[in-house]
Structure 1
Amino acid sequence: MPPPHTHHEHGHHHQSGDGGQAEILDLDAEVLAEHIAAITRWLPVRSDPRRIVDLAAGTGAGTFALLDRFPEAHVIAVDASPEHLRRLREKACARGVDGQVRVVSADLDDTTWPDLGTPDLVWASASLHHLADPDHALRAVRDLLAPDGLVAVVELAGLPRFLPEHAPAERPGLEDRLHAAADRLHTEHVPHRGADWGALLTAAGFTVADELAVAVDIEGARDPAIGRYALGVLRRLRGAVAEELAADDLAALDRLLDTGSPHGLLRRDDLALRTERTVWAAGLRP
């Protein structure tokens, strides 16, 4: 699916699964663990769900956050990537919850989905905007959700940012230009990014119960994983937008991505993770 993987945006186009993307998903879960936990605590559930489906589960950030929040639940983790599902299974075993997690290989763009039971909660984090027909996916969720169940759609405002505005010194504003190039490609290839998911949920037969905006701003000094996360994200961003960049910008980006350079991302002390997420929680229309 073109362009070549700017779509991880916090790593979540789960329909293709190379190791590099899986590493970003693991870092995403590590760096944003507190924020994901806060979202699970916010969910307006009527009672603790016992049956959960995690759509495009990746390597399990949502699956395990939901099990931490609802420890009696069983989760069906759905993804199209064998690598992601393998990692998720390994994590479930390591955590001792493999009896509560079932992995299902499926492409959410397929006309028919495998049997996912009748879940009390369906979780779809940063995944629906990648689908060719998210309306079809939402109708499929409507048809399988329990009568008192809840669907939670978590979506991103855009790619995460890491550098100060003045960085790097030789090409200030480089990250803005990278994002502008990625946005141009996304407009063509990922048209549902930034959609009004509240309206789409309503059109699919749901009633939106609540909406939550989550702003993330974590200083790199607080978490050394942010440097590794920035490296992974910007490497993949380079792979997608290199042809769109001026030669000087590409050279500056490559200096940042050089792990042996004193000017590389891993040596900087001014990184921060800045991003925004919005969560829509909806139930079946009465």
Structure 2
Amino acid sequence: MAHQHHHSDTGMDWAAMAQHLESQAELYAPWYERALAWLGREVTEPGLVVDVGSGPGVVTGLFAETFPGARVIAADGSEALLERATERAKRLGYADRFAVLAGELPGSLAELDYPADLIWAGRSLHHLGDQRAAVAACADRLAPGGTLALMEGGLPTRFLPRDLGFGRPGLEARLDARSADWFARMRADLPDSVAEAEHWPALLASAGLGHTRTRSFLLDLPAPVSDRARRYVAEMFTRMRDGVGADLDADDRATLDRLLDPEDPASVHRRADLHVLAAHTVHTAVKPAA
């Protein structure tokens, strides 16, 4: 399950996904905290941080916590998600240094009043047709010496053992393959889609940025997981069944149904070996000083 987006078509109703996006980001908070701690050592006292494709603002809030002297901007094309980000900023006490930037990305970045010292794009650029142009647009809005950080790539998330004790072993690997097919369709159907080798350090360099760095970070929530993690995994498998279930054979569909049956002791709702293991990758580069 490499990309974590599972819909019956390649369109996305981001407002409808708000609760899922929020729950996922909160569950993955330990991963983000490790990545932001690393960024905190790479970036010195940024004055302005922009979260590109911020969604409901969970990660924007973590940036506000990591850099207490910085202004933070949540940039997204969904007004509904930005409303949640604003509510979150008020609730957590950083509204006085928080703002939103609404509009289609990356074009809306041109509306920034000041260049940013740090721009973060967490799995948002792959939703834009021309990823090279998106990287260039982000780089253009950096202040001299500013850092662009992209979270893209990593390894498929794992929730279950290879052999569940029923069905054919290797279900998650087969779901990964269906997810990859979905992702390819999603990319091909984007407006102005451009095929691009996802060599992110090279794309960063092509935008005139230097000092490229790459680090991967692990999220390891071992069994037994929390009730929140269990609910999240159940939602993920529900989305997979609804999104790619038709592409699976009858045995795998039956296995998914059993995994999602709350009354079944072997379901994700009840099994003792459920876990969350994920590795995500961050790529950074720096705009040359003037």
TM-score for the superposition, normalised by structure 2:
0.86
Gaps of 5+ in 1: 1-5
Distance 2:280 2:136 in 1: 23
Preserved CA contact (<8 Å) 2:52 2:75: yes
User: Deviations for 1:46-67, whole angstroms, at most 9, x for unmatched residues?
Assistant: 4211111100001223211111
1:77 aligns with 2:80: no
Distance across 2 between alignment mates of 1:29 and 1:54:
14
- Residue-by-residue CA offset, 1:151-179 (whole Å, 9 max, x unaligned): 11112325422111002523322221111
**TM-aligned CA deviation for residue 126 of structure 1:** 1.2
| Structure 2, gaps ≥5 residues long | 189-194
Report the CA distance shift for 1:179/1:274 in structure 2 as closer, same or farther (over 3 A). same
Instruction: Say which of 249, 256, 259 aligns to 2:259.
Output: 256
Is 1:231 the counterpart of 2:234? The answer is yes
Please name the residue that 1:97 is paired with. Answer: 94
Question: Counterpart in 2 of 1:58?
Answer: 55
Q: Percent identity?
A: 33
**How big is the shift at 1:116?**
5.3
User: Cα–Cα, structure 1 residues 60 and 220, in superposed 2: closer, same or farther, change >3 Å?
Assistant: farther
Give secondary structure in 2 for the equivalent of 1:208: strand
Deviation at 1:7, TM superposition (A): 5.3
Partners in 1 of 2:270 and 2:171 — Cα distance? 18
Equivalent residue, structure 2, for 1:3: none
Identify the residue that residue 190 of structure 1 maps to in structure 2.
187
Kindly indicate whether the alpha-carbon contact (under 8 Å) linking 1:126 and 1:154 is maintained by their aligned counterparts in 2.
Answer: yes
**Residue 24 of structure 2 aligns with which residue?**
28
RMSD (CA atoms): 2.7
- Is this contact kept in 2: 1:217–1:273, CA < 8 A? yes
User: 1:234 offset after TM fit, Å?
Assistant: 1.8
Summarize the Cα distance change of 1:246–1:62 in structure 2 as closer, same or farther, 3 Å threshold: same
Q: Tell me how far 1:14 sits from its aligned partner.
A: 11
- 8 Å CA contact 1:10, 1:159 repeated in 2: no
Tell me by how many angstroms 1:92 deviates.
1.0
Q: Deviations over 1:56-92 (max 9, x none)?
A: 0012232111111101211110112233212211111
Alignment of 1:240-279 (within 5 A): 240-279=243-282
Opposite residue 282 of structure 1, the aligned amino acid is A
- C-alpha distance in structure 1 between counterparts of 2:212 and 2:174, whole Å: 37
Q: If the length of structure 1 is used for normalisation, what is the TM-score? A: 0.87
Displaced runs of 4+ in structure 1, greater than 6 A? 191-194
For the Cα contact (< 8 Å) 2:156–2:279, is it kept in 1? no
Aligned mates of 1:219, 1:194 — CA distance in 2: 34
**For the residues of structure 1 that align with 2:59 and 2:6, how far apart are their CA atoms?**
13
Report whether the alignment pairs 1:133 with 2:130.
Answer: yes
Deviations 1:228-258 (A, max 9, x none): 1211222222222122111121121122123
In the alignment of these two chains, the number of paired residues is: 279
**Which residue pairs with 1:120 in the alignment?**
117
1:215 to 1:190, Cα distance in 2 relative to 1, 3 A: farther
